[in-house]
Amino acid sequence: MNFHPRTLEHTQSDLDHVIPNESELTAGTLIEPGKSYGFFTDTTVCIGCKACEVACKEWNNLPADNLGMTGQSFDNTGALSANTWRHVAFVEKKGGCGVRADIETPYQSGWLMMSDVCKHCHNAPCLEACPTGALFKTEFDTVVVQQDICNGCGYCVPACPFGVVDLSANDGKAHKCTLCYDRLKGGLEPACAKSCPTDSIQFGELEILQARAQERVEHLHQRGVTDAYLYGTPGAPGSTGGLGHLNAFFLLTDRPEVYNLPVAPTRPANRVKPSLISGLAAVAGLALAATIVLASQERR
Amino acid sequence: MNFPVSSQDDAGQALQKYSEWDGSTYYGRAQLKSAPFENLVVGGYIFLAGLSGSAAILAALADLAGGKSAASLVRRGRYLGLLAPVIGSALLVYDLHTPKRFYNMLRVAKSTSPMSIGTWILVSFSASVGLSAAAQAASDFWPQQRWSGWTARVFGVPAAIAGMGMSTYTASLLAATSTPLWAAAPQALAVRFGASSMAAAASALSLGEPSDGIRPKLDAITGVALATEAVAAMVLHEAYGKMGVRDALDSPSGRLEKAGATQLGVVLPLGLLAVSALAGRHRRGGLSGLAALAVLAGSAMLRVSVMGAGDVSAERPDVSFRFTQPRNMPRR
């Protein structure tokens, strides 16, 4: 078992203070402004315990929702929403005739679980759409909604290519994962990553995470899990169409759609210029036609 | 099935080589969230914005090129321009989920956000068309003084320029989202909205037009705009099929788009105007009025139906996944 040597300085369980730079002990990384941070969610080790969902709700004081049963495997959460910022998806892969596959290959091949979260896109469509500046990039390269600015216009909701951002009926404002902005400020690892018992959710500096994820993919390929690939790293599915990389990226073993993720999402802001220019050109052409008609001699 | 890691530029091409999507979804759950707009409210705003914006354009053009007989057209065009600033902005504030913070829209100006661009277009349009209409009112009440007519003309020019934005920016507002139906064809949607705005304004102005010389001209402008809209609608539907989002039109909103926006709003008035033009100047008033009413109704239904069909496309994972297949990636 390896642990950080500084751990020995904090052996009491009832601490009366926050451990300075605690993330160094729990995630092996210092949190410093100006660097890029993110999540690497390795779905091959997710056990579907939903500790991340609970830790997120607890830390962020999020209201309960979806108290009923969905009938969709163990997923009674359903989707990310204003009140749910981590969502564990459960996929029971089918064999023939709608029956679950009975031949199991290694690593969850018949039973996929994935803890979904806001992707904190490099070119974040929600941020680019926000007309008030409420959505912004933090000093940790994450995307956060400033609750004291948001006026609930709701434009970030259809802008998001992953269906993450949502308006709350409680306060009429947009909400989503903040990548625990408050905890990062205090040198703490985000709540979901800290609570994950299998390290399926790993928090850290983005470049280090990406390198670690690539190693993990190669390792899995060697072990015979040839379906493993990354979603959201530069050039991979998910970070397509001008979105850039995703700061929260995933290791998947089936097509993205199976996990409710798009293969090739695009950046909405790239559509602003073509539509504005062609619209204005059309109106200008019609105005020219109208001028000709109006200036013509009246028919008698 | 094994997605390669490659450079960003050829990600789409690399993906194409691998397995095709077999139609599987996550329990049929939506992959996207539909816009939380109230479609009648925001669709109503888009209609009024186009109507007012194009009315201000026609008022300025008639003022500069139309001669004396166009005086009534100019006056009513300036007043019609007030619809968006007065009713339209109220609708927009009403649709906010925290309306008392509407002024936060004025904190920033962002070229990546058509809602921010639109905010500033609406602000400049409201100011210029407001001053132009106020001066017009002054000259209507006190016809003997001269400065007001001159003021109305001067502010009519910026009103017309901002009016061009008002007529069409709302298509960018929809296109610059991840909602598949809105994002499928940004250019064609913008042309369709712009042409519909111009047709609606010309129709509304022809309804109260007292001059027999000007009304056929307005009808001609309506006809040209409707023909443009018809072509744009065809291109748009072609793109819907190509991008795999056409299934979203198999919905009440899609049927409203077909029957209301296209048949009632474009095909019927085009026919009526053609008959009216052939019939000569006798008995043309009735047909032209009927056509104008159909155009106005169709223009409003176009906006509401596109909003609604967009929501359907976002809520249906089969539509949104088909839209985000690598073959639909923009070519570089």
Q: Among all residues of chain A, which has the CA nearest to that of B70?
A: A294
Q: Quick one: average pLDDT of B277-285? A: 70
User: What pairs with residue A229 in β-bridges?
Assistant: A252
Taking 80 as the threshold, does the pLDDT of residue B8 lie above it?
no
Residue A298 — very low, low, confident or very high, per pLDDT cuts 50/70/90? low
- pLDDT score, position A4: 82
User: pLDDT tens, B23-40?
Assistant: 889 999 999 999 999 999
Edge-to-edge strand list for the sheet holding A229-231: A201-205, A37-42, A248-252, A229-231
Q: Does A211 touch chain B (CB under 8 A)?
A: no
3-state SS, residue B92: helix
Q: Does A126 touch chain B (CB under 8 A)?
A: no
- pLDDT score, position B4: 46
- The angle that helices B186-207 and B147-175 make with each other, rounded to 10 degrees, is 140
AA letter at A65: D
Residue B74 — very low, low, confident or very high, per pLDDT cuts 50/70/90? very high
Q: Among all residues of chain B, which has the CA nearest to that of A89?
A: B26
Per DSSP bridges, beta strands A86-92 and A37-42 are unpaired
Optimal mutation site among A76, A135, A146, A151, interface B, most CBs of chain B within 10 A? A151
Query: Which of B65, B97, B177 lies at the smallest CB-CB distance from A295?
Result: B65
How many Cβ pairs closer than 8 A exist between chain A and B?
A: 320
Are B18 and B6 contacting, i.e. CB atoms less than 8 angstroms apart? Answer: no
Q: Quick one: average pLDDT of B297-310? A: 98
Q: Among all residues of chain B, which has the CA nearest to that of A172?
A: B97
Smallest CA–CA separation between B87 and chain A, in Å?
18
Taking 50 as the threshold, does the pLDDT of residue B111 lie above it?
yes
Q: Quick one: average pLDDT of A11-31? A: 89
Are B85 and B227 contacting, i.e. CB atoms less than 8 angstroms apart? Answer: no
| Chain B residues whose beta carbon lies within 8 Å of the beta carbon of residue A89 | 26
Residue A51 CB neighbour total at 10 angstroms: 21
- Cβ neighbors of A26 (< 8 A, separation 6 or more) are A189, A194
Nearest 5 degrees, angle CA B50-CA B320-CA B5?
120
- pLDDT score, position A104: 61
Dihedral over Cα of B332, B14, B315, A121: its sign = negative
What per-residue string of b and e applies to B200-220 under the rule 16 or more CB within 10 Å gives b?
bbbbbbbeebebebbbbbbbb
| Chain A residues whose beta carbon lies within 8 Å of the beta carbon of residue B295 | none
User: pLDDT tens, B214-267?
Assistant: 999 999 999 999 999 999 999 999 999 999 999 999 999 999 999 999 999 999
Residue tagged 């017309």 (tokens): B160
Residue A261 CB neighbour total at 10 angstroms: 26
Residue A260 to residue B25, Cβ atoms within 8 A = yes
Taking 80 as the threshold, does the pLDDT of residue A105 lie above it?
no
Instruction: Give which of B38, B76, B305 is closest to B196, Cα–Cα.
Output: B305
Cα B63 to Cα B206: distance, rounded to the nearest angstrom = 16
- pLDDT score, position A17: 84
C-alpha A245: how far from chain center:
11
Smallest CA–CA separation between A75 and chain B, in Å?
10
**pTM (2 d.p.):** 0.93
Q: Hey, what are B10's tokens?
A: 């050829």
Residue ranges of A 92-121 with Cβ closer than 8 A to chain B: none
Cα B213 to Cα B229: distance, rounded to the nearest angstrom = 25
B331 or B276: whose pLDDT is higher? Answer: B276
Q: Quick one: average pLDDT of A25-46? A: 96
- In order, the DSSP letters of B34-73 are -----HHHHHHHHHHHHHHHHHHHHHHHHHHHS-GGGHHH
Residue B33 to residue A165, Cβ atoms within 8 A = yes
Most confident of A68-72, B7-11, B49-53, B327-331: B49-53
Cα B322 to Cα B328: distance, rounded to the nearest angstrom = 9
**How many alpha carbons fall within 13 Å on the CB side of residue B103?**
1
3-state SS, residue B105: helix
- pLDDT score, position B211: 85
Cα B129 to Cα B158: distance, rounded to the nearest angstrom = 8
Residue A290 — very low, low, confident or very high, per pLDDT cuts 50/70/90? very high
Taking 90 as the threshold, does the pLDDT of residue B2 lie above it?
no
Residue A295 — very low, low, confident or very high, per pLDDT cuts 50/70/90? very high
- pLDDT score, position A160: 98
- pLDDT score, position B25: 92
Mean pLDDT lowest among B40-49, B203-212, B295-304: B203-212
